[in-house]
Each structure stands twice: as C-alpha cells, then as structure tokens.
Chain A
Amino acid sequence: MAIERYGKLDVLVNNAGVAPISLLDELRVDDWEEMIDVNLKGVLYGIAAALPVFRRQSFGHLVNVISTAGIQIIPTMAVYAGTKSAVRTITETLRQEAGDKLRVTSVSPGFVRTNLTNSMTNPEVKGQIVERMGKMAIPPAAIARGIAFAIEQPAEVDVNEIVIRPTAQA
C-alpha cells in the first residue's frame, strides 16, 4: 500500500507488540498465542512484506522494536521474552543475510511510558508493572529518537543494535 501510494518503501518499523504476561502455571494459552501472533508472527509478516520490496529497490531498512525483556530474563515474562528473544535472533540472521544494500536495526526499550500494560490480562502482574512504570518509565520519545538516529545515518552506516533503558532501571 505504501508502495502504491508513495512508489517506494525506505523503512519498515516493526513496532506493534502486546504483553499479556503471567506465570506459566496459569496456563493462559490464549495469551501465549496472542503474543506469538503479534510479537513474533507480526514481525515475520512484516519481513515477508518488506524484504522483496527492499531487494527489488536495492535499498531498504528494517527496524525491529524488541524489548530489554529479550535480554534480561525474569519470571512472568516467559512467552513475552521468548517472542522477543526469537525476534532478536531473526533480526541478527536477517542482518547477516541482508548483504551490502539493506540495513537492519534492532531497538530494545526498557520501561517506557506506554499503554502496553493495557494488554496485560493478569491484574496482579499488571499492577506490579504499572507501579514500576510509574517510578522509572521514560517517555516514548526517548525511543523514537533512537529509531530516528538509526534511520538518518548515511546508507553505508548500519546501526545494528540500540538498547535504551531508564537510568533508574537495573
């Protein structure tokens, strides 16, 4: 659609994500599927849509927004972190396969003030995350600046990985 309308695609930012996190014991299978559908398959569909376009153009930039949950493993985040770890692996593989024309960037935010907690289905877990967010979360613009930094580099410069946490986040 972007191609039809604008004739090209320079960057795809795979940013959409959900986080209905919980302990594995709760067996919230629907939530697991939701996270895999949006966080993992959504990114793959994005790659499937954009990669042929980028190849044809001989330019393009794929930016995947992951999460520090893909780096730091903590209870309740098994499936969420699993999807993020998977996206990290896929992103790095794509970077190596991309060749000398396409750029691939992963951006991993820590606690950011967003409505991601709206997607959390376990009230207790949600309460804990909301409380931590209230204490330390940084504004979404902090991550946006990181994404813009990667995009605005000259074509031969590929910013591979960016991790942005609140200063107060351990």
Chain B
Amino acid sequence: MSGIKGKVVVITGASSGIGEATAVLLAERGERSYWEREALIALRLWQPASQHRAGRRPMHAQTSNGGKTFSIWLGWQSSDTASWTFSLTTLE
C-alpha cells in the first residue's frame, strides 16, 4: 500500500516538536496516526508501576491480555520530569 491514507502509525515523543508536527501532518493527510496524546489517555486508564531513579517517575503501562508487552519511551514531561513509556502489545 502506498500513500498515507489508512495507515496506522505510532510516533514516540509526539507531545511536542517533530513528533507532534509529524502526527498533525499525517492526520491532515488522512492518517489514522496513533500518537502520544491518545497514549497518555490510555496510560491514565492503566495502573502504572512507578519506579524512582534520580527523582524521576518512569511510568510503565501494561496491558492485561496475554500477549508480549514491550515498553517504548514516548519522551518525557519537562514540567515535572516524569518519563512516559507506552506499551505496544504484540498479539501472538
């Protein structure tokens, strides 16, 4: 499949800057792009396992199904230096 329409795109670090601009551009061109704002909403729905390193709160979202789960860094919030991770589950 060529072109933009109908493609599913995951963009890490899309809350601002290049990631955000890419998400917006692709969305304008008919993309179903899946970006951080949506992921952050999903993160809030899950119970994050907080870890503390150098005063930061990395967040690890886990899905409840049995598939393999990996964490992807989405970027971080500079205001409170919280790091966000986002799990992309691969269905077996």
What residues of chain A have their CB less than 8 Å away from a CB belonging to chain B?
1-18, 30, 34, 37-38, 41-42, 45-46, 48-50, 52-53, 56, 59, 65, 109, 112, 114-116, 118-119, 139-141, 143-145, 147-148, 151-155, 157
Contact = CB atoms under 8 A, between A and B. Distances in A.
B19 A49 contact: no
In which size bucket is the chain B interface? 35 or more
Given A12-B9, A41-B73, A144-B22, 15 more contacts: A1-B87, A2-B10, A6-B34, A11-B8, A13-B22, A15-B12, A15-B14, A16-B19, A16-B73, A38-B73, A38-B76, A45-B70, A46-B72, A109-B18, A144-B18
A109 B19 CA distance: 12
Interface string B16-47: 11111110111001001010000100100000
Nearest to B6: A10
B50 interface: no
Q: Is the interface of B mostly helix, strand, loop or mixed?
A: mixed
B19 A9 contact: no
B49 interface: no
A145 B25 CA distance: 7
Contacts of A5: 34
A52 B67 CA distance: 12
Query: Which of A15, A38, A141 gathers the greatest number of chain B CB atoms within 10 Å?
Result: A15
The A contact surface, by secondary structure, is helix
B17 A112 contact: yes
B22 A15 contact: yes
B8 A8 contact: yes
B60 to A, nearest CB: 11
26 contacts: A1-B39, A1-B87, A2-B8, A2-B34, A5-B34, A6-B32, A10-B9, A11-B10, A12-B9, A15-B13, A15-B19, A16-B13, A18-B75, A30-B54, A34-B54, A45-B72, A45-B73, A53-B88, A65-B18, A65-B19, A116-B17, A140-B20, A144-B25, A148-B4, A148-B29, A152-B3
- 10 shortest interchain CB distances as A-B pairs: A16-B13, A114-B17, A42-B73, A140-B21, A154-B2, A10-B7, A118-B78, A49-B70, A144-B21, A16-B12
